[in-house]
């Protein structure tokens, strides 16, 4: 049986062929779009191509694309056929973005704000642009020029186009983010290089004023401002300041309350609305950046408005914070250097004073028949003003002196030298002790400031007469401890030396018996203090003297020093320990 070809109506064949041709064109368009999108990494270029392809294919007059970078806020990235003024600040926050296409007319029933806004712009179709399971964009179109609704095949084509674009848009977002990161990284590298260069300049100077000038120029140049103020605090006062471009600025008018508020600022801040900072606003400042060191705000940088307008960005404020802290470190380093120099100068002065003081002490003690003499000086860490001396007058007389000068260091040592020269000159003139002390006093008044004075005991031992004549100028009264244990204080004399002119002085004299001891001392002995802030005291000294009367003068002196140091073992020796001991051995024990 012969087969015959089945015949189809001519118009039906034409419709099928037309639909096939249309599908082929759509596939070709999608293929071309895919190639074009894959070749581009520019986000704006990708979005514009998607929009123009769809609008050109459908002859649509309006379209826009909303994009979200955080998954919630959708912002217009590109648009066609819509006035830009109508799109200004058009942003939607969508907790649940659509995951499939929707017709605005159907969705407008719920009256959601974003749907209503799109409807007012003339949008009738919304298609989600997805990457994986996340809607990252919305592609929106206006009505077709024919006035007919979008057909299913047209929506399918547009959905396919949107889906194809999704991957490219995602890649474009990644590239955009990389560019932002790279741009920020480049800016950070530039900032670091700038900070490094500025830091080298700041640390190259040890002058706080110059450091502040360098810091001011760096801040004003980097931020393009013409007004700035830098304040540096120390111990609740302004130590350094520098103003540039400000009129009628007087940092002396900054009161304690404002200064306290400034020390509480721990991060950069705008001062436009801050209470208590009106003085800074009146000077034309708008921002304050703290200068911090070791967790505390030690200064501030006040900034005026930028010459080209606009606020300070977070990156700029972070840069300024780092720069401010770098400047504060440079200033602290300058202070430390100054302190080190001052310490070195003081140490050198103390070394010189120590050499002067030790050089003034007697190198040996003259031998005296029938008497045992000893003198010792234990200096503290600081050079004090203690002094003792033995001066041979002739074979039967010896002048003995002990003194304590107010103050420490080179001034005290020089005053001791002056005292020694005066006593040694006057000792050989056979004048009464009261007259000698009066002359020395007038010399001290003439050669010293009013805040400097000397306490002293000056006496003469007469070997033949067995007497000790003395005059006490405000010094700790020496102890005369008799062989039988009785005690006397050698307190006859007058006012301390150097206080006022023409002061009268008295003279005292004691006759010595065998085993009598005279112990002269400075306040470094009796005022030595233990950890409980208790003093060794005169009673402690007397107990030590009376414990063993058989000790030699040298041995007794060493024992007193040991007792004092043991008493203040956990404390610190605050003053020199100086002792002069005179012991009468008696006729039978002459050497």
Q: Is residue 283 part of a domain?
A: yes
Mean pLDDT of 86-101: 82
Question: Does residue 415 sit in the same domain as residue 531?
Answer: yes
Mean pLDDT of 73-98: 84
The CA angle 533-544-558, to the nearest 5 degrees, is 95
Q: Is residue 375 part of a domain?
A: yes
Q: Is residue 345 part of a domain?
A: no
The confidence band for 250, taking pLDDT boundaries of 50, 70 and 90, is confident
Cβ count near 534 (within 10 Å): 13
| DSSP-based three-state secondary structure for 399 | strand
Q: Give the structural domain span for 165.
A: 18-177
Q: Is residue 13 part of a domain?
A: no
Q: Which residues contact 199 (CB under 8 A, 6 or more apart)?
A: 326, 330
Q: Can you say how many angstroms the Cα of residue 113 is from the centroid of all Cα atoms in its chain?
A: 53
User: Which two structure tokens, joined as six digits, stand for 586?
Assistant: 């008696």
pLDDT of the residue at 581: 96
Residue 506 has pLDDT above 80, yes or no: yes
Question: Does residue 83 sit in the same domain as residue 170?
Answer: yes
Asked which of 107-111, 166-170, 183-187, 429-433 is least confident by mean pLDDT, the reply is 107-111
Question: Does residue 372 sit in the same domain as residue 499?
Answer: yes
Q: Is residue 268 part of a domain?
A: yes
Cβ count near 134 (within 10 Å): 13
Given 157, 177, 197, which residue is the final one in a domain? 177
The confidence band for 590, taking pLDDT boundaries of 50, 70 and 90, is very low
Question: Does residue 173 sit in the same domain as residue 222?
Answer: no
pLDDT of the residue at 16: 52
Given 177, 192, 215, which residue is the final one in a domain? 177
Helices (H) and strands (E) in the chain, counts: 14, 22
The CA angle 563-569-575, to the nearest 5 degrees, is 75
Mean pLDDT of 110-118: 80
> Checking DSSP bridges between strand 467-473 and strand 454-462, what pairing results, if any?
antiparallel
The confidence band for 41, taking pLDDT boundaries of 50, 70 and 90, is low
Mean predicted lDDT score pLDDT of the chain: 83
Question: Does residue 324 sit in the same domain as residue 224?
Answer: yes
| 559 closest CA partner among 571, 577, 573 | 577
Question: Does residue 326 sit in the same domain as residue 382?
Answer: no
pLDDT of the residue at 206: 78
Question: Does residue 250 sit in the same domain as residue 367?
Answer: no
pLDDT digits (tens, 9 = 90+) for 446-489: 887 777 889 999 999 999 999 999 999 999 999 999 988 899 99
User: Which two structure tokens, joined as six digits, stand for 534?
Assistant: 């208790």
Q: Is residue 357 part of a domain?
A: no
pLDDT digits (tens, 9 = 90+) for 337-350: 888 888 888 777 77
The CA angle 76-80-84, to the nearest 5 degrees, is 60
The confidence band for 191, taking pLDDT boundaries of 50, 70 and 90, is low
pLDDT of the residue at 448: 78
Question: Does residue 27 sit in the same domain as residue 156?
Answer: yes
Residue 381 has pLDDT above 70, yes or no: no
CB 453 within 8 A of CB 419: no
| 441 closest CA partner among 360, 512, 498 | 498
Question: Does residue 320 sit in the same domain as residue 386?
Answer: no
User: Which two structure tokens, joined as six digits, stand for 372?
Assistant: 């045992």
pLDDT digits (tens, 9 = 90+) for 521-547: 998 899 888 888 889 999 999 999 998
Q: Is residue 356 part of a domain?
A: no
pLDDT of the residue at 6: 45
CB 374 within 8 A of CB 247: no
Cβ count near 501 (within 10 Å): 11
Ramachandran assignment for 224, one of left (phi > 0), alpha (psi -120 to 50 degrees), beta (any other): left
Given 177, 194, 225, which residue is the final one in a domain? 177
DSSP 211-280: HHHHHHHHHHHHHTBS-EEEEEESSSSEEEEEEES-SS--GGG--HHHHHHHHT--S-EE-SS-TT-HHH
Question: Does residue 50 sit in the same domain as residue 136?
Answer: yes
Residue 3 has pLDDT above 50, yes or no: no
The confidence band for 272, taking pLDDT boundaries of 50, 70 and 90, is confident
Q: What is the dihedral of CA 67, 72, 75, 79, to 10 degrees?
A: 40
pLDDT of the residue at 588: 47
The confidence band for 334, taking pLDDT boundaries of 50, 70 and 90, is confident
The number of domains in the chain is 3
Ramachandran assignment for 192, one of left (phi > 0), alpha (psi -120 to 50 degrees), beta (any other): alpha
User: Which two structure tokens, joined as six digits, stand for 486?
Assistant: 């009785």
pLDDT of the residue at 480: 96
**CATH code: domain of residue 506:** 3.60.40.10
Residue 388 has pLDDT above 90, yes or no: yes
Q: Is residue 481 part of a domain?
A: yes
Helix axes 152-203, 43-58, angle to 10 degrees: 160
User: Which two structure tokens, joined as six digits, stand for 572?
Assistant: 């610190």
Asked which of 167-171, 222-226, 279-283, 367-371 is least confident by mean pLDDT, the reply is 167-171
The confidence band for 556, taking pLDDT boundaries of 50, 70 and 90, is very high
pLDDT of the residue at 28: 57
**CATH code: domain of residue 258:** 3.30.450.40
Question: Does residue 379 sit in the same domain as residue 421?
Answer: yes
pLDDT of the residue at 32: 57
Of the CA atoms within 13 Å of residue 27, those in its CB half-sphere come to 6
DSSP 563-580: HHHHHTTTS---S-EEEE
pLDDT of the residue at 496: 93
Distances (CA, A) of 282 to 216, 220, 263, 287, 578: 20, 19, 20, 13, 64
Mean pLDDT of 508-517: 94
Helix axes 314-360, 409-427, angle to 10 degrees: 10
Question: Does residue 211 sit in the same domain as residue 164?
Answer: no
User: Which two structure tokens, joined as six digits, stand for 234?
Assistant: 């120390």
pLDDT of the residue at 5: 40
Residue 8 has pLDDT above 70, yes or no: no
The confidence band for 512, taking pLDDT boundaries of 50, 70 and 90, is very high
User: Which two structure tokens, joined as six digits, stand for 383?
Assistant: 């050079």
pLDDT of the residue at 140: 92
Q: Which residues contact 49 (CB under 8 A, 6 or more apart)?
A: 33, 36, 37, 40
Overall pTM > 0.95? no
pLDDT of the residue at 509: 96
The confidence band for 591, taking pLDDT boundaries of 50, 70 and 90, is very low
């Amino acid at each position: 049986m012969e087969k015959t070809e089945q015949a189809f109506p001519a118009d039906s064949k034409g419709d099928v062929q037309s639909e096939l041709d249309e599908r082929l064109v759509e596939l070709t368009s999608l293929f071309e779009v895919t190639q074009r999108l894959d070749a581009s990494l520019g986000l704006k270029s990708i979005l514009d191509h998607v929009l123009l392809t769809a609008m050109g294919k459908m002859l649509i007059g309006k379209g826009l694309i909303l994009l979200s970078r955080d998954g919630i806020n959708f912002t217009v990235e590109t648009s066609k056929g819509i006035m830009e003024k109508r799109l200004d600040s058009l942003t939607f926050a969508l907790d649940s973005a659509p995951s499939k296409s929707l017709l605005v007319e159907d969705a407008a029933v719920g009256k959601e704000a974003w749907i209503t806004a799109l409807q007012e712009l003339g949008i009738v179709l919304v298609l989600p642009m997805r990457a994986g399971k996340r809607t990252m964009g919305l592609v929106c179109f206006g009505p077709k020029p024919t006035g007919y609704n979008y057909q299913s095949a047209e929506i399918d084509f547009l959905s396919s186009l949107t889906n194809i674009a999704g991957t490219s848009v995602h890649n474009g977002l990644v590239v955009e983010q990389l560019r932002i990161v790279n741009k920020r990284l480049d800016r950070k590298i530039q900032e670091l290089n700038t900070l490094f260069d500025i830091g080298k300049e700041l640390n190259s100077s040890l002058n706080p004023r110059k450091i502040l000038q360098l810091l001011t120029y760096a801040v004003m140049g980097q931020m393009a401002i013409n007004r700035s103020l830098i304040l540096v605090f120390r111990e609740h006062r302004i130590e350094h300041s520098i103003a540039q471009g400000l009129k009628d600025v007087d940092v002396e008018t900054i009161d304690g309350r404002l200064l306290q508020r400034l020390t509480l600022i721990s991060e950069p801040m705008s001062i436009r609305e801050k209470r208590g900072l009106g003085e800074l606003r009146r000077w034309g400042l708008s921002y304050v950046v703290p200068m911090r060191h070791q967790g505390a705000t030690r200064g501030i940088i006040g900034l005026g408005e930028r010459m080209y307008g606009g606020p300070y960005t977070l990156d700029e404020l972070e840069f300024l914070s780092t720069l401010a802290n770098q400047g504060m470190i440079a200033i602290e380093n300058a202070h430390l250097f100054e302190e080190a120099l001052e310490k070195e100068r003081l140490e050198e002065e103390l070394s010189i004073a120590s050499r002067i003081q030790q050089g003034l002490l007697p190198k040996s003690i003259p031998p005296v028949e029938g008497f045992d003499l000893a003198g010792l000086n234990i200096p503290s860490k600081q050079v004090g003003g203690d002094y003792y001396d033995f001066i041979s007058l002739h074979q039967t007389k010896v002048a003995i002196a002990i003194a304590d000068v107010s103050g420490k260091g080179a001034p005290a040592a020089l005053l001791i030298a002056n005292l020694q020269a005066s006593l040694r000159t006057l000792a050989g003139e056979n004048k009464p002790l009261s007259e000698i002390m009066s002359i020395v006093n007038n010399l001290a008044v003439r050669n010293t400031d009013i805040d400097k004075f000397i306490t002293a005991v000056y006496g003469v031992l007469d070997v033949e007469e067995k007497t000790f004549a003395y005059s006490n100028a405000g010094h700790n009264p020496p102890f005369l401890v008799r062989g039988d244990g009785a005690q006397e204080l050698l307190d006859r004399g007058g006012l301390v030396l150097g206080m006022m002119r023409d002061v009268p002085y008295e003279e005292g004299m004691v006759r010595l018996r065998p085993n009598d001891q005279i112990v002269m001392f400075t306040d470094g002995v009796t005022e030595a203090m233990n950890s409980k802030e208790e003093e060794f005291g005169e009673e402690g000294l007397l107990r030590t003297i009376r414990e063993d009367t058989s000790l030699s003068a040298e041995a007794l002196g060493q024992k007193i020093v040991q007792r004092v140091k043991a008493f203040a073992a956990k404390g610190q020796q605050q003053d020199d320990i100086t002792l002069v001991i005179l012991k009468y051995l008696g006729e039978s024990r002459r050497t």
